Amino acid sequence: MADPSSYRPKPGQIPDSPGVYRFRDEHRRVIYVGKAKSLRQRLASYFQDLSNLHPRTRTMVTTAASVEWTVVTTEVEALQLEYSWIKEYDPRFNVKYRDDKSYPYLAVTMNEQFPRVQVMRGQKKKGVRYFGPYGHAWAIRDTVDLLLRVFPVRTCSAGVFRNAERTGRPCLLGYIGKCSAPCVGRVTPEEHRELAEEFSDFMTGRTGTYIRRLERQMTDAAEDMEYERAGRLRDDIGALKKAMEKSAVVLADATDADLIALAEDELEAAVQIFHVRGGRVRGQRGWVTDKVEAVTTAGLVEHALQQLYGEETGDSVPKEVLVPALPDPVGPVQEWLTERRGSNVSLRIPQRGDKKALMETVERNALHSLALHKTRRASDLTTRSRALEEIAEALDLDSAPLRVECYDISHLQGDDVVASMVVFEDGLARKSEYRRFQIKGFEGQDDVRSMHEVITRRFRRYLGEKEKTGEWADTEAALTEEDGRPKRFAYPPQLVVVDGGKPQVAAAQRALDELGIDDIAVCGLAKRLEEVWLPGDDDPVVLPRTSEGLYLLQRVRDEAHRFAITYQRTKRARRFKASPLDDVPGLGETRKQALIKHFGSVKKLRSATIDQICEVPGIGRKTAESIAVALAQAAPAAPAVNTATGEIMEDEDHVEDAAPETTAGVAEEPVSAGASDERRGQER
C-alpha cells in the first residue's frame, strides 16, 4: 500500500486549466482516469488526510504509485479524452457499465447495391441503418415477417442471392410475394432501394403516411370492383397495424427521445434505457456496474451517456435525452452530444406529463434489473470468494490468490510442441491476458523441460518489464517513458498452477528459483486423481471432491488445456497446408493462386519450364527462376494411402493442392469431451 504523499506533485507543478488525469499503480498500469475543469483543484482533493476521503477513493490513492495529467483547451475535449482513455486502458477504479447480453438490432444494409434487411449484433457498420436494440432476435423476425408483405425487401444472404442470379430462379420468398426478387430482375436496383427507404421510414415511426396511402388504394380498388386487389391491400394494412401494435404508443407527440433511469445502492448501480422513436418504444437495453469509485447519481448518468453515445453519430443520437439527474456541469456534456448528432440535443429531467410517467416505468425496470442481478451474483460472488479462501488455506498461502496463472503443454506425439498461459482474476477468466508459446529450446517430447522453458520465458519477461518501467529505479525519466498501454507480462500472479504432477511442479519451481523469484506460489494439478502437488513435497494435497477450491483449480486447468489444444491444432493445420511456394520471396497469395489455377497442381508446376511459368500473368522471369529453384529444392510429398484398402493413391493432385485429411493413415479428428484417455495421451 503506497503513501499518496510519496508521489504527490510539487506545489505549483499542476496547471490550473481543464484536463484529464491518470493514476497508475506500481506496475505502471492505469487504474483510474478522470477529468477536471481545474486540474490543480481536482488533484489537490486527492492528496489530503486519508481519513477525510471516501473509502473507495482512499483505496484508489493508496493503490496508485504515480499520477500524470494532460492539459486540454475545453471541457468538451476533456470529456472526449476521458472516454477514449477509459475505453483504451480499462482502469479498474472507473465505473464501467457491463452489458449482460449482446443486443440484436434490425439492420438495413443501405451500403449495398441491393439493400438487405437482417438481424445484426456487435459493432455498428458505416452505411447501415439500425433499429432497436430489441430484447430478442425473434421479436425482430416477427416484425420483419409482417412488414415484408408491404415492403418486400431482400432478406437473403449474399450466397443465396448469387445462386439465384446464376440460376435465374428466385428463392421461396420471391415466389410467395415476400421479396421483390431483384436477383432475377423483377425490380430494378433503384426500385428496390426505394422499397428499402420506405421500410426504413416506417421503422423510424413515420407510419401514418403508409397506412393512409394503402387505405386510399384499397378504397379505389373497391370502387373499381377490383375486389381481389382490395382484399390484398386490406391484409397489408392489417399486417402493418399488427406490427405497430408490437410497440405501443407511449408519447402522443411522436417524440424521438432516449430515457435513462438508474437504480443504485452503496455497491452497485443498474441503468435502463428506453429508445423512443416516433412516440413508440423501439428498443430497450440495460447495464450493471460496480461502484468502484465515489460517484454520485449525476456522475453515473454522465458515464452512461459516454457509454451509450461514445461511438454514435447522426440520428443515432436523439433530439432529446431524458435523465434522472443532470451531469455537473451539464454544458460540456450537452455540447458533446450536440457535436455527435450534428444538431441541437436537449438534455433534461422530465418534470410532468407522459414523459415523467414513462420515466417512472424505466425506473421500475432499473430496480427490477438491479434486484435480479444481485440475486444472481450473490451466490456466484460468495462461491468464488470461498473457493479462493479454500485454495489459500490448502496451499498455506498468506492471502487469497486474486491472480492465478495456469500453464499447459500440448503436442501430438512430440510434434508442434506449444504451451498456453491462462489468467484468472478474482476467480474469473481474464481472456485479454491469455498468452501462447512455441517451444524453441529443443525438439521432441519432454513436458518437464518444456514447462521449465515456458515458466523461465514468462517470468524473465516479467523481470524485464519490471526493470524497464522503472520500478527498480528512482528517476522520473524511467516512469515517463511508458505510453500507458498494458504490458504483456508486467503483472505477477500470486499463484502459478501447472497442468501435471510432481515433475512439472519441480520444473516450474526450479525456473522461478533460477530467476531469483521467491514471492510466487507454485502448485500442480494432476489429471488422474485430481491431486494438488506442491514443490518439494513427497505427498500431494488432496482436496475434498466437493471443494469449491478444487473446482476452481479444475476450471483453470481445463481452460489452459483447451487453449493449448486449440493453438496446437491451428499450428499443425498451418504446417499441413504449407507449400513449397511459401519459400519464394515476394510471391504473394494472389500470384500463388494464379499459378495453381494456370497449371492445375504443384506437381505440374514443378515440371514446367521457366518460359512456361512466365506465361502466367504477373510472373516475371526473375520470379519464375525463383519458383523453379524453390520447387526443385523441395522434396515431393509422400503418396496418400487409402486406409480402407491399403492402396497407394496415384492422383497427382492429392497432396499438394489441399491440406491432407490423414497423416500416416491416422485420421486427424478433434478430441471431444468424451474422448478416451489413450487419445488424449497422444494429443496433449
Classify each residue of 253-272 as buried b or exposed e, where b means 16 or more C-beta atoms within 10 Å of its C-beta: eebbbbbbbbbbeeebbbbb
What is residue 635's predicted lDDT score, i.e. its pLDDT?
54
The strand pair at 521-525 and 495-499 is best described as parallel
Residue 133: cis peptide before it, omega within 30 degrees of 0: yes
Among the listed residues 5, 69, 83, the one whose alpha carbon sits nearest the alpha carbon of residue 38: 69
**Angle 358-361-366 (CA atoms, 0-180°, nearest 5)?**
130
E strand or H helix that includes residue 271 = strand 268-277
What is residue 655's predicted lDDT score, i.e. its pLDDT?
35
List, in sequence order, the alpha helices (H) in 176-250: 189-203, 208-223, 227-245
Can you tell me whether residue 663 is helix, strand or coil?
A: strand
Residue 564 has pLDDT above 80, yes or no: yes
Compute the distance between CA of residue 126 and CA of residue 105 in angstroms, rounded to an integer.
Answer: 14
What is residue 102's predicted lDDT score, i.e. its pLDDT?
61
The strand pair at 117-120 and 129-131 is best described as unpaired
Q: Mean pLDDT, to the nearest integer, of 479-504?
A: 70
Encode pLDDT of 361-416 as tens digits. 888 888 888 887 776 665 677 778 888 888 998 888 888 888 899 999 887 776 77
CB contact at 8 A, 297 and 360: no
Q: Mean pLDDT, to the nearest integer, of 582-596?
A: 78
What is residue 379's predicted lDDT score, i.e. its pLDDT?
60
Q: Mean pLDDT, to the nearest integer, of 186-211?
A: 81
Q: How confident is the model at residue 643 (pLDDT cuts 50, 70, 90)?
A: very low
Q: How confident is the model at residue 575 (pLDDT cuts 50, 70, 90)?
A: low
What is residue 175's predicted lDDT score, i.e. its pLDDT?
85
Compute the distance between CA of residue 669 and CA of residue 50 in angstroms, rounded to an integer.
Answer: 61
What is residue 510's predicted lDDT score, i.e. its pLDDT?
92
Upper half-sphere CA count for residue 646 (Cβ side, 13 Å):
0
The pTM of the full predicted model, rounded to 2 decimals, is 0.48
Compute the distance between CA of residue 422 and CA of residue 404 in angstroms, rounded to an integer.
Answer: 8
For residue 620, how far is the Cα from the chain centroid? Answer: 44
Residues 6+ apart with CB under 8 A from 653: 600, 601, 603
Of the chain, the percentage scoring pLDDT greater than 70 comes to 81
Q: Mean pLDDT, to the nearest integer, of 305-317?
A: 82
Q: Mean pLDDT, to the nearest integer, of 678-683?
A: 42
Can you tell me whether residue 121 is helix, strand or coil?
A: coil
Among the listed residues 94, 25, 23, the one whose alpha carbon sits nearest the alpha carbon of residue 491: 25
First-to-final CA distance of the chain: 42
Residue 101 has pLDDT above 60, yes or no: no
The residue with greater pLDDT, 280 or 388, is 388
